[in-house]
Amino acid sequence: MNISLSWLSAMLGRPLDAADVAHRLAMLGAPAESIEPLHQDLGDVMVGLVERVEKHPNADRLTLCSVNTGREVLDVVCGARNVQAGHQYPFAPVGAVLPGGVKLDARSIRGVASQGMLCSARELGLGTDHEGILELHTDAAPGTPLLQALPLADTRLRLDVGANRPDLLGHRGVARELGAVYGLPVKLPAVPGAAPEGLAPRRVERQGGAGGIDVAIEDTAGCPRYIAAVIRGVRVGPSPAWLEARLRAVGARPINNVVDATNYILYELNQPLHAFDLARLRGGTIVIRPARPGERITTLDGEVRELTADMTMICDAEGPQAVGGVMGGRDSEVSAGTTDLVLECAYFDPKRIRKTRKALRLITEASYRFERGTDMQAMSDVVRRAVSLIRTVAGGDEREAPVDVYPVPQRPRAVFLRPERVEHLLGMAVARDEIERHLAGVGFTSAPKNGRLHVQVPGWRPDVTREVDLIEEVARLKGYDAFPVELRPFRPSGVPDDPIELLGARLRRLLTGYGLHEARTLPLTSAGDDPTVVRILNPISQDHTALRSSLLPALVRGVEHNWSIRQRDVRLFEIGHVFQRPRGASQPEETLHLAAVLSGARDVPHWSNGFRPPDYDVWDVKAMFAEAARLGGPAGDVVTADDGWILRDPSGGERGRAGALSADRPAWAGPVYGFELELEARERPAVRYAALGVTPPVERDISLMLPEGVIAEQVEAVLQEAGTALLERAVAFDEYRGPGVDGRSVAWRLVFRAPDRTLKDHEVDEVVGRILARLKVALGVVRREA
Amino acid sequence: MSTRSLTDELEAVAEAAAQVATADAARLAVLRTELLGRKAGRLTAILKALATLDPEERRVIGARANQLRRQLEDAIAAREAGLQQTVGRAAAVDGSMPGRPRWRGAKHPVTAVVDEICDIFRLIGFTRVVGPEIESEQYNFTKLNIALDHPAADAQDTFYLGPGLLLRSHTSPMQARTMELFPPPIRIVVPGRAYRRDALDASHLPVFEQLEGLAVDEGLSFVDFKAAIDFFVKRFFTRDTLVRFRPSFFPFVEPGAEVDVQCQVCRGSGCATCKRTGFLEIMGAGMVHPAVFENCGLDAERYTGYAFGMGPERIAMLRHGVPDIRLLIQPDMRFLEQFIER
């Protein structure tokens, strides 16, 4: 919401400092997003009195003016025809900088030196009129800065107003808040040369007339109150400068005096109004009713709108003339030829307006305010001020009182407030009279009743419906700063930590310890044609139409990105949710995953290794996968698969996968390996201490010939079984293929130990013999001949 | 050998002996053999030749030669010891060459911020929980007192997956989920991702991290709320950081507040980062709205509480001076390596 500082000053009856106003409003809940001094680019322009106008000696269309600047009289060449001696105009001397940043140079026009420029409204950014020089009707002396001479100097504050505070969408509402903190009363600014206040509206229940128009509400749910005033004999034309300046200050475009007057009231009192051309309303009637099937309207913006039965329409005898609360119709628009007006001042149901503006995709200043809730109780006063303003700026008469169709008059809402509840919630006692004072400051009236306060809520505060809303008002108006910062005793949380978060922390420690960096990629992707991906019904971009079902693709793209910047060594992991819509399932599912990718050097390049350490290979990823699965995966085993390894749970399901990955790889880059794993927080019993061996171990290395199809895992199973309790561990430490070996040879180091004695060589030989015999029988594995 | 030449040779040997002090291991071995070698050592030869001299000359030259031998033996021993000490230092290896580093990885700076925030709140009794990213309208809006037919809902332009099913637009649904599952005292922080239909640009992500907090118990007040937030800010930023509470509107809290902290860039004097206000907005917060308690089955007369929410990405950007939020979602090693703990 744009607020004019000078408008606020007029309401509070004293000059205001923009920075202080912004600070006070911020501390009341409506911070300014920007503070913009207006027309600062006119600082060099002054009032110039044209003393003499002569024809330019060398040009028919130009004149030569003598301009009195208060200090000197300068010769100025002018191209406009409306300049007359004895009148005052905006004058920019040589050296002045005009809006748009143009600096005025001394120059000679057709042989005559011009020592400045008389300016049009457009040149000053004050309007679109470029035909003539802007004539000034001012008492200011020549040489007075234009900003002082015209009501231009102003500051615009762009307020960020919460959706609960429609009252702050008008200047009076903002002034009311400031008045409460400054201790100033709010009064509506006097309108220069004001016509008398409009006549008091005459209330009817359903239907009634006013000066030639008959009004009836059929849709009382959509429109519970409608006031129509008739003004005859207006002259539509431009608005006076003060009115245009007010509208420009809030960023609105002046249109004509009638429309400008209604907009002025909107920005001042937060009540949208609409003026119809009475002559264009057929049958002399206004009916407020739901749209009928198939009805259409051409709105002011020239669009043809299809209407539906849940929209409230303002109709004449033949059809819709306005979309109630949203936008007027083009047919009955006020135009240059309009002489008789119907002025509408209505209340529209916020929810209805919201639906209508969504259906029509049309947000207007009116719909924005009606959707948030206007003040139904203030409408009678609003219409009287509006009629007065229109008559002031456009002339005309109001011959009969406006008709006020108001089937069920609304009574002010009453809310009870317990003073002790204020202390209970705010943590600090606030005296009852102070509570009442704060509430009264912004228009609430309160009276004690059975130990509580009976508070009447003003019509402009639809947000206040229960006790806590009043407590917030007390806190807000007292000021949040008034409450102490005091750490008081508390009870610790009864909610346990989520174990999955502890697991995430453990996995981050594991992987960063391995040298991997944590990535956070966007979980959105393009849907493709996979039926199991979770699609977004209302995506904002073609690239982001679905949720990821795996973390790895984005990490592989991350590797490719690093390659694109010549970064060869890439080590990344991510922990995040992935999504799937399993076939036949009604609901999408989400699972927490961990994924990692590795490419490039396994160690940091160093002079001792020729600055070219070996690259990661598939064994690195196998170990990381197995370690991560043990730490954070579901129960299961890492088993060999066709193209790497999978984590298989006891029921045979695949819960993770590791191996080489394909990527768009430049020749100089290393291969990419990676894994992805479902995470599951499981009970992890504390580590049980194993007694440290005090007897010496005996080591034996055995080289075994593994026939085709036999894998190390199988050999190790036999080693464990046949090695008995004496075999402490068995580790494969070498693999050989090549000359002298038919197939593959793998060597194991076997470590034997008895807990209670030193093993004798012959004991170990016996066990090794048993192992070899068992290997031969079970797997056809024999010792490699030396 | 004449007396004359013996004396000259003795002086030459003494001169050569002077080199011992600076010889490296190889040169020392050569010098030892050349001067003291059993067969061809120059000093050995002199000592052997003494026998041919007359007694007076033998006494003088012999004394000098024996003295020189002792000196030389001592010097060689000292040098050997010295050389042994410098092995691994300058002589054999240039210790100023770079040591052998290991790869180190880092938590994402946003994770680091989340962890730090959670750890600070843990000090005042908060536990850490998480919740689903796919949510229902019920939990994302209705139970939080956000009416879909009220303009307040427009602040959260939401991705839908199906009728009534959406991607949570904030982490606040966990307020309702926790209140329905656990009796007070509740003190939780809830990190997690939230989704909004914002176009990706330098300051917006359609998916962003949020961190929610909720405290519910009997007797919690606005003063407790202010104290908890102040406790956090003074530990997360610096002890002298000013905190400012301003009224604001969120449907699920009342009184609602926006929390500003003194700008960490200019310390409050006004700069481009804080748009010359001296303050930075870091969280929306307030006292839990009684309607939320009612919607979650808690007695709103008996229980009170406070809630807050903040954006760890924005806080990470402020803390590290990251100018573009998109850097946080691009897994660029040059970027991520900057956040290794040092």
Residue-wise pLDDT tens digits, A242-262:
998 899 999 999 999 999 999
Name the least confident of A152-166, A512-526, A665-679, B6-20.
B6-20
Tell me what the pLDDT averaged over chain A comes to: 93
Asked if the Cβ–Cβ distance from A427 to B187 is below 8 Å, we say: no
Residues A624 and A596: beta-carbon distance below 8 Å: yes
Q: How many CB atoms lie within 10 A of CB A380?
A: 17
Peptide bond into B255 cis (omega under 30): yes
Residues A217 and A223: beta-carbon distance below 8 Å: yes
Per-residue pLDDT at B9: 80
Asked if the Cβ–Cβ distance from B304 to A572 is below 8 Å, we say: no
Could you give the CA distance from residue B11 to residue A404 in angstroms, rounded to a whole number? 133
Any idea what DSSP says for residue A281? S
Could you give the CA distance from residue A458 to residue B63 in angstroms, rounded to a whole number? 123
Minimum distance, in Å, between the CA of residue A522 and any CA atom of chain B: 6
Minimum distance, in Å, between the CA of residue B74 and any CA atom of chain A: 38
Per-residue pLDDT at B91: 58
Minimum distance, in Å, between the CA of residue B27 and any CA atom of chain A: 27
Asked if the Cβ–Cβ distance from A487 to B228 is below 8 Å, we say: yes
Could you give the CA distance from residue A221 to residue A226 in angstroms, rounded to a whole number? 12
A472 vs B46: which has the higher pLDDT:
A472
User: Out of B102, B111, B246, whose CB is closest to A518?
Assistant: B111
Average pLDDT over residues A719-725: 93
Average pLDDT over residues A680-688: 90
Per-residue pLDDT at A549: 95
pLDDT tens-digit map of A143-161: 888 888 877 789 999 999 9
Report the range out of A34-48, A108-122, B74-88, B128-142 with the highest average pLDDT: B128-142
- Phi then psi for A435, rounded to 5 degrees? -60, -50
Query: If you write DSSP's letter for every residue of A463-530 in order, what string do you get?
Result: T--SHHHHHHHHHHHH-GGGS-------PPP-SPPPHHHHHHHHHHHHHHHTTPEE----SEE--TT-
Cβ-based contacts of B251 with chain A (< 8 Å): 164
Per-residue pLDDT at A642: 86
Could you give the CA distance from residue B38 to residue A595 in angstroms, rounded to a whole number? 72
Name the least confident of A1-15, A298-312, B11-25.
B11-25
- Phi then psi for A671, rounded to 5 degrees? -65, 160
Per-residue pLDDT at B156: 78
Cβ-based contacts of B160 with chain A (< 8 Å): 536-538
Per-residue pLDDT at A347: 98
Nearest chain A alpha carbon to B304: A425
Nearest chain A alpha carbon to B123: A492
Could you give the CA distance from residue B16 to residue B264 in angstroms, rounded to a whole number? 70
Task: At B160, list the tokens.
Answer: 């839908």
Residue showing tokens 């060099």: A44
Whether B274 shows a pLDDT value over 90: the answer reads: no
Minimum distance, in Å, between the CA of residue B158 and any CA atom of chain A: 9
Whether A622 shows a pLDDT value over 80: the answer reads: yes
Q: Going by C-beta distance under 8 Å and a sequence separation of 6 or more, which residues neighbour residue A623?
A: none
Could you give the CA distance from residue A31 to residue A112 in angstroms, rounded to a whole number? 54
Residues A65 and A55: beta-carbon distance below 8 Å: no
Per-residue pLDDT at A129: 64
Whether A658 shows a pLDDT value over 80: the answer reads: yes
Task: At A192, list the tokens.
Answer: 């220069």
- Report the candidate in B161, B103, B292 with the shortest Cα–Cα distance to residue A603: B103
Average pLDDT over residues A223-242: 94
Could you give the CA distance from residue A434 to residue A432 in angstroms, rounded to a whole number? 5
A785 vs B329: which has the higher pLDDT:
B329
Could you give the CA distance from residue A365 to residue A369 in angstroms, rounded to a whole number? 6
Find residue A659's DSSP bridge partners: A674
Name the least confident of B4-18, B261-275, B296-310.
B4-18
SS3 state at A696: coil
pLDDT band at A786 (very low <50, low <70, confident <90, very high): low
Average pLDDT over residues A217-243: 95
Residues B13 and B68: beta-carbon distance below 8 Å: yes
- Phi then psi for A620, rounded to 5 degrees? -65, -45
Task: At B165, list the tokens.
Answer: 């099913």
**To the nearest whole percent, how much of chain A has pLDDT over 70?**
99
- Report the candidate in B172, B140, B106, B197 with the shortest Cα–Cα distance to residue B309: B172
Sign for the CA dihedral angle at B100, B104, B109, B112 comes to negative
Cα B255–chain centre separation:
38
Task: At B44, list the tokens.
Answer: 């050995």
Per-residue pLDDT at A699: 94
Find residue A595's DSSP bridge partners: A574, A676
Asked if the Cβ–Cβ distance from B102 to A491 is below 8 Å, we say: no
Per-residue pLDDT at B84: 73
Could you give the CA distance from residue A213 to residue A221 in angstroms, rounded to a whole number? 22
Average pLDDT over residues B282-305: 97
Residues A88 and A49: beta-carbon distance below 8 Å: yes
Quote the crossing angle between the two packed helices B55-86 and B25-36, to the nearest 10°: 160
Per-residue pLDDT at A686: 92
Per-residue pLDDT at A54: 87
Could you give the CA distance from residue A747 to residue A699 in angstroms, rounded to a whole number? 13
SS3 state at A752: strand
Minimum distance, in Å, between the CA of residue A58 and any CA atom of chain B: 54
Cβ-based contacts of A481 with chain B (< 8 Å): 244-245
User: Out of B133, B200, B255, whose CB is closest to A476?
Assistant: B255
SS3 state at A435: helix
How buried is residue A374: exposed, middle or buried, by Cβ count under 10 Å (0-12/13-18/19+)?
buried
User: Out of A500, A520, A524, whose CB is closest to B108?
Assistant: A520
Name the least confident of A122-131, A153-162, A473-482.
A122-131
Whether A755 shows a pLDDT value over 70: the answer reads: yes
Could you give the CA distance from residue B175 to residue B296 in angstroms, rounded to a whole number? 9
Average pLDDT over residues A585-609: 94
Nearest chain A alpha carbon to B191: A501
Q: Going by C-beta distance under 8 Å and a sequence separation of 6 or more, which residues neighbour residue A538?
A: B159, B160, B197
Whether B68 shows a pLDDT value over 60: the answer reads: yes
Select the residue from B222, B242, B322 to test the A interface by mutation, using most A Cβ atoms within 10 A: B222
Nearest chain A alpha carbon to B306: A425
Asked if the Cβ–Cβ distance from B330 to A426 is below 8 Å, we say: no
Query: If you write DSSP's letter for every residue of B284-316 in order, what string do you get?
Result: EEEEEPHHHHHHTT--TTTEEEEEEEE-HHHHH
Task: At A490, list the tokens.
Answer: 């508390």
Find residue B136's DSSP bridge partners: B165
User: Out of B129, B184, B337, whose CB is closest to A497?
Assistant: B129
Cβ-based contacts of A468 with chain B (< 8 Å): 254, 287, 289-290
Whether A84 shows a pLDDT value over 80: the answer reads: yes
Average pLDDT over residues B208-230: 98
Asked if the Cβ–Cβ distance from B151 to A372 is below 8 Å, we say: yes
Cβ-based contacts of A517 with chain B (< 8 Å): 105-106, 108, 331, 333, 336-337
Find residue A323's DSSP bridge partners: A313, A327
Task: At A408, list the tokens.
Answer: 């069920």
Cβ-based contacts of A490 with chain B (< 8 Å): 124-125, 185, 187, 215, 217, 220, 224
User: Out of B182, B226, B247, whose CB is closest to A495?
Assistant: B182
Residues B292 and B146: beta-carbon distance below 8 Å: no
Average pLDDT over residues A385-410: 96
Per-residue pLDDT at B87: 55
Average pLDDT over residues A701-723: 93
Per-residue pLDDT at A528: 83
Cα A215–chain centre separation:
42
Per-residue pLDDT at A525: 95
Asked if the Cβ–Cβ distance from B254 to A468 is below 8 Å, we say: yes
Nearest chain B alpha carbon to A586: B162
Per-residue pLDDT at A274: 97
Asked if the Cβ–Cβ distance from A426 to B222 is below 8 Å, we say: yes
Any idea what DSSP says for residue B272? T
Minimum distance, in Å, between the CA of residue A508 and any CA atom of chain B: 7
Sign for the CA dihedral angle at B116, B119, B124, B130 comes to positive
Whether B305 shows a pLDDT value over 70: the answer reads: yes
pLDDT tens-digit map of A86-114: 888 999 998 888 887 888 888 888 888 88
pLDDT tens-digit map of A316-342: 999 999 999 999 999 999 999 999 999
SS3 state at A390: helix
Average pLDDT over residues A522-543: 92
Cα A266–chain centre separation:
26
- Report the candidate in B242, B231, B127 with the shortest Cα–Cα distance to residue B174: B127
Q: Going by C-beta distance under 8 Å and a sequence separation of 6 or more, which residues neighbour residue A522?
A: A544, A554, B200, B205, B206, B207, B329
Q: Are strands B165-167 and A207-210 parallel, antiparallel or unpaired?
A: unpaired
Per-residue pLDDT at A467: 97
Could you give the CA distance from residue A97 to residue A42 in angstroms, rounded to a whole number? 8
Letter for the amino acid at B116? E
Cβ-based contacts of B244 with chain A (< 8 Å): 481
Select the residue from A416, A426, A490 to test the B interface by mutation, using most B Cβ atoms within 10 A: A490
Residues A335 and A311: beta-carbon distance below 8 Å: no
Asked if the Cβ–Cβ distance from B127 to A481 is below 8 Å, we say: no
Asked if the Cβ–Cβ distance from A494 to B246 is below 8 Å, we say: no
Could you give the CA distance from residue A385 to residue A201 in angstroms, rounded to a whole number? 12
Residues A764 and A699: beta-carbon distance below 8 Å: no
Per-residue pLDDT at B2: 63
Nearest chain B alpha carbon to A356: B149
- CA-only gyration radius of chain A, Å: 42
- Report the candidate in B6, B76, B96, B85 with the shortest Cα–Cα distance to residue B35: B76
pLDDT band at A167 (very low <50, low <70, confident <90, very high): very high
Asked if the Cβ–Cβ distance from B186 to A495 is below 8 Å, we say: yes
Q: How many CB atoms lie within 10 A of CB B42?
A: 17
Asked if the Cβ–Cβ distance from A490 to B215 is below 8 Å, we say: yes
Select the residue from B137, B249, B292 to test the A interface by mutation, using most A Cβ atoms within 10 A: B249
DSSP H or E segment with residue A68: strand A63-68
Asked if the Cβ–Cβ distance from A555 to B200 is below 8 Å, we say: no
Whether A685 shows a pLDDT value over 60: the answer reads: yes
Residue showing tokens 């709010």: A186
Minimum distance, in Å, between the CA of residue B155 and any CA atom of chain A: 9
**To the nearest whole percent, how much of chain A has pLDDT over 90?**
78
Per-residue pLDDT at B174: 98
Cβ-based contacts of A537 with chain B (< 8 Å): 159-162
Nearest chain B alpha carbon to A520: B329
Could you give the CA distance from residue B28 to residue B30 in angstroms, rounded to a whole number? 5
DSSP H or E segment with residue A305: strand A304-306
Query: If you write DSSP's letter for every residue of B206-224 in order, what string do you get?
Result: SEEEEEEEEEEEET--HHH
Q: Are strands A46-55 and A63-68 parallel, antiparallel or unpaired?
A: antiparallel
Whether B1 shows a pLDDT value over 60: the answer reads: no
Could you give the CA distance from residue A48 to residue A141 in angstroms, rounded to a whole number? 8
Nearest chain A alpha carbon to B198: A540
Cβ-based contacts of B217 with chain A (< 8 Å): 490-491
Residues A727 and A720: beta-carbon distance below 8 Å: yes
Average pLDDT over residues A648-654: 95
